[in-house]
Structure 1
Amino acid sequence: MSKYNNSNGSLQNRFIKYAKIDTQSDPGSPTCPSTEKQKNLGRALVAELLEMGISDAEIDINGYVYGTIPSNTTKQVPVICFCSHMDTSPDSSGENVKPIIHDNYQGEDLILPDDNKVIIKMAEHPDLQHQIGNSIITASGTTLLGADNKAGLAEIMEAAAFLMQNPDVKHGTIKIFFTPDEEIGRGVDKADLKKLAADFAYTIDGETLGSIEDETFSADGAKLTVTGVSAHPGFAKGKMESAIRIITEILNALPTDTLTPETTQLKEGFIHPVAFKGQVEEAEAQFIIRDFDNAKLQSHGELLEETIKKVMVNYPNSSYNLQIKAQYRNMKEVLDQHPQIVAYGVEAITRAGVVVKKQSIRGGTDGSRLSFMGLPCPNIFAGEHAFHSKQEWVSIQDMEKAVQTIINIACIWEEKAK
């Protein structure tokens, strides 16, 4: 067991520093990173890594941060990477974040001072029942906190500082990797895996204390374009076939009591319309299609097209085009080929004195795509909760356990090597 402790408050100090830097990504931007301000945090992280003695730390032109903690063992240990993302969600403001520490939490409602209508209640956030006596960090009520994923950044940086300061704790080569634009699905678009040169990785971007996630949705995106028939509305009888009405009819014909995000849970998939635009002559709808099982994912796409065809029969002079493209696949397909990655993660959490919660992600992470790019990568808890909202919170004690888990993973890989 390594001797990490946070008695000087360095972990929360790191987190609060990072949370105050606006790094919101922008799905409408074509650049990488999508917002230049993400590099402000990247440069700060590089400066800290260099100060620790991680001499190769750098940020590249696309906003990716790389660094290496050299091996201090004679064993041949696989190169392990720890990864978190720097951007915060576009769903809620990340500007002028004011982190607040609520010490010795006793189950009370947390009324945030800059907007007293934003109240974090235990009844609505059941994980708070496990935080009695702990210190909770929130924002002030007008922004998100950014624990997703700045908690992960702080935890990796704290673990890196510990390993650099404690050469008696044996480990192989450790790679540090921080990405931009994860929140808009482009987190590893320009990742240089040759430069990273890791064998296996762990994203530190999970929620509940003790969770390890080795399974994600498989994901497709669909774009439906309908070309209708326009006519002057005063003389449209028997002529007009409105693309807007056609797509509306298609959406209404899809299942509503199942296969939607609001009616599914656990391993159930869905077809979810996420955007719509159009005029009478042409309209477009975009969908995300999700399931843990690839065969079911394909069947959801087939159901979407069957529904479209049934509706289109009633509009003989109109046409449609449906494009379904793969976005990412369930990383379990890859991780099952390397069972030791998850097994060592489970052992590391257990050594930290935490009950392991093996879970599936109803979404995707950078690790989903990294796994299929040749870098198998499960997800470890960071302690972030209510992400993408003004009610976001994180526990300092949960973050400490995440740091300990990261250090334990590094040690276990060294112990198991020959």
Structure 2
Amino acid sequence: MENTTTSPDVLERFLRYVQINTQSEDANCDQVPSSAVQFDLANVLAEELRELGAEDAHVTEHAYVCAHIPASAGAEDKPALGLIAHLDTTEVAPGAGVKPHIVHYEGGDLVCGTVDGKPVAMSTAKLPALNDLAGEGLVCSDGTTLLGADDKAGVAEIMALVARIAQDPSLPHPALGICFCPDEEIGHGAELLDIEAFGCKYAYTVDGGPIGELEWECFNAAEATVHFEGQSIHPGDAKGRMVNAGNLFCDFNALLPYEQRPEYTEGYEGFYHLEGVSATVDHATARYIVRDHDAAKFQQKLELTDAAAALLNQRLGEERVTVEIKQQYRNMAEIVRDYPELIDVAKEAYLACGVEPQVLPIRGGTDGAQLSFRGLPCPNLSTGGYCYHGVNEFVPVSSLVKMTDVLQELVARFA
């Protein structure tokens, strides 16, 4: 399909959106949204949707942006299709004050900026995909923050599609439900989306990586918070009396399989990921995320965390190590495998735009997992971005435009 736009509207939108801070905050995970700043982008998007003809565009009290686009002529009787992305960016890297710019990449190291006199660079050795991007314009941050393509690239691509339809309502499409969710990065995601009011039979999230990714399998996921209670004694009198909580953490961590850390796994292999730890002699707390595509192996991982705590308590002769497990989401393959047509149509849309589809398991989470189990089958599409959750994050300009084309082809097939 030839792109008929005269300027990359999607790029202009993306550059604006990433400059609005929307970092979610895990410390406030008991409320939605976890950070008030997510309303800033939500309100902008709702107003833009109204300007593009979505009369019902609104922001809920929990910062969900919801809107509906009427079907094109002749497609009024087709089931409504949802397009979904998330507002928030991760807090694992600086995310406020993003200064996006376009690097005209000609090969070698991709240098997005300079911090403290040192280049912030990504090498082709660490990211071989760079070898295919020479000659491209790549949107990067200045190296002090993440970029926010996860998932503002998806937001911009959906908004650019809506703008195309507003400009030419004859573009074939069924009724569309548009939703931008808060707090995907901390596991809330689409938990509070009113699916009945959303009114869609199927949906796609636009929250993947390099262009062409098509995902309908994800991890089973849980968070494990481990508490270690020590007993502080002057080290000179410590023998037989001190219990060092920091050392208990070290012992616990050593009981988890070394080779099942994220840096040693790929594909369908699960992992234990230590997200953070705070420790003194008296008390330590460690936070892990536990992931596996296979439900049985996932359960074994959770059981091993309990067994590690039990072993340490047995050694101590008293309970000083406790584990709290919080289930986060399940592998959406359990649901989406019954809707192969959703995968087939997405493949067709990619191929029509000259993009080779890459069907991969998601090594992470997606709003589509929660939505699929809540009755809205929801595979995941690419955004075009690379190196998410870090200061080296970038997205090719061509991918932003091409994904907008893919979405246009996708909705046409549902019409």
Asked if these proteins are the same fold (TM beyond 0.5), I'd say: yes
Asked if 2 retains the 8 angstrom alpha-carbon contact of 1:6 and 1:400, the reply is no
SS of the residue corresponding to residue 203 of structure 2 reads: strand
SS of the residue corresponding to residue 188 of structure 1 reads: coil
Aligned to 1:274: 275
SS of the residue corresponding to residue 207 of structure 2 reads: strand
Asked if 2 retains the 8 angstrom alpha-carbon contact of 1:25 and 1:184, the reply is yes
Aligned to 2:13: 14
1:55 Cα deviation after fit? 1.0
Q: Determine the C-alpha separation between the residues in 1 that align with 2:11 and 2:120.
A: 23
Asked if 2 retains the 8 angstrom alpha-carbon contact of 1:57 and 1:66, the reply is yes
1:108 Cα deviation after fit? 4.6
Q: Deviations over 1:131-171 (max 9, x none)?
A: 23322111122222111111111110111111222232222
Asked if 1 retains the 8 angstrom alpha-carbon contact of 2:204 and 2:379, the reply is yes
Q: Determine the C-alpha separation between the residues in 1 that align with 2:141 and 2:228.
A: 44
Q: Which amino acid aligns with 2:59?
A: I
Q: Which amino acid aligns with 1:47?
A: E
Identity value in percent:
36
Aligned to 2:67: 67
Q: Which amino acid aligns with 2:224?
A: A
Aligned to 2:187: 185
Q: Determine the C-alpha separation between the residues in 1 that align with 2:164 and 2:126.
A: 36
Within a 5 Å distance, the mapping from 1:213-252 to structure 2 comes to 213-227=215-229, 233-252=235-254
Asked if 1 retains the 8 angstrom alpha-carbon contact of 2:274 and 2:289, the reply is yes
Q: Determine the C-alpha separation between the residues in 2 that align with 1:111 and 1:88.
A: 22
Q: Which amino acid aligns with 2:295?
A: N
Q: Which amino acid aligns with 1:188?
A: A
Aligned to 1:209: 211
Aligned to 2:358: 357
Asked if 1 retains the 8 angstrom alpha-carbon contact of 2:351 and 2:357, the reply is yes
1:266 Cα deviation after fit? 1.2
Asked if 2 retains the 8 angstrom alpha-carbon contact of 1:270 and 1:289, the reply is yes
Asked if 2 retains the 8 angstrom alpha-carbon contact of 1:71 and 1:172, the reply is yes
Structure 1 residues 99 and 229 mapped into 2: Cα distance closer, same or farther (>3 Å)? Answer: closer
1:281 Cα deviation after fit? 5.2
SS of the residue corresponding to residue 309 of structure 2 reads: helix
Q: Deviations over 1:14-47 (max 9, x none)?
A: 1111122122222223442222222121111112
Worse overlay, 153-162 or 309-318: 309-318
1:107 Cα deviation after fit? 1.6
Q: Which amino acid aligns with 1:284?
A: T
Asked if 2 retains the 8 angstrom alpha-carbon contact of 1:246 and 1:312, the reply is no
Aligned to 1:53: 53
Q: Which amino acid aligns with 1:389?
A: G
Q: Which amino acid aligns with 1:24?
A: Q
Q: Deviations over 1:78-112 (max 9, x none)?
A: 21111111122212222222221234x32254433
Confirm whether residue 143 of structure 1 aligns to residue 145 of structure 2.
Answer: yes
1:345 Cα deviation after fit? 1.1
Worse overlay, 326-335 or 119-128: 119-128
Within a 5 Å distance, the mapping from 1:15-414 to structure 2 comes to 15-29=14-28, 30-72=30-72, 73-74=74-75, 76-103=77-104, 105-115=105-115, 116-227=118-229, 233-256=235-258, 258-278=259-279, 280=281, 282-414=283-415
Q: Deviations over 1:366-408 (max 9, x none)?
A: 1111111221111101011112222111111111121111111
1:318 Cα deviation after fit? 3.6
Q: Determine the C-alpha separation between the residues in 2 that align with 1:239 and 1:20.
A: 54
Q: Determine the C-alpha separation between the residues in 2 that align with 1:110 and 1:228.
A: 47
Asked if 2 retains the 8 angstrom alpha-carbon contact of 1:241 and 1:317, the reply is no
SS of the residue corresponding to residue 303 of structure 2 reads: helix
1:228 Cα deviation after fit? 5.0
Worse overlay, 387-396 or 27-36: 27-36
SS of the residue corresponding to residue 326 of structure 2 reads: strand
SS of the residue corresponding to residue 47 of structure 1 reads: helix
Q: Determine the C-alpha separation between the residues in 2 that align with 1:389 and 1:313.
A: 40
TM-score (norm 2): 0.92
Asked if 2 retains the 8 angstrom alpha-carbon contact of 1:135 and 1:395, the reply is yes
Q: Deviations over 1:244-271 (max 9, x none)?
A: 4333212222222x22112211111122
Worse overlay, 331-340 or 132-141: 132-141
Q: Determine the C-alpha separation between the residues in 2 that align with 1:235 and 1:317.
A: 21
Q: Which amino acid aligns with 1:165?
A: Q
SS of the residue corresponding to residue 68 of structure 2 reads: strand
Q: Which amino acid aligns with 1:85?
A: H
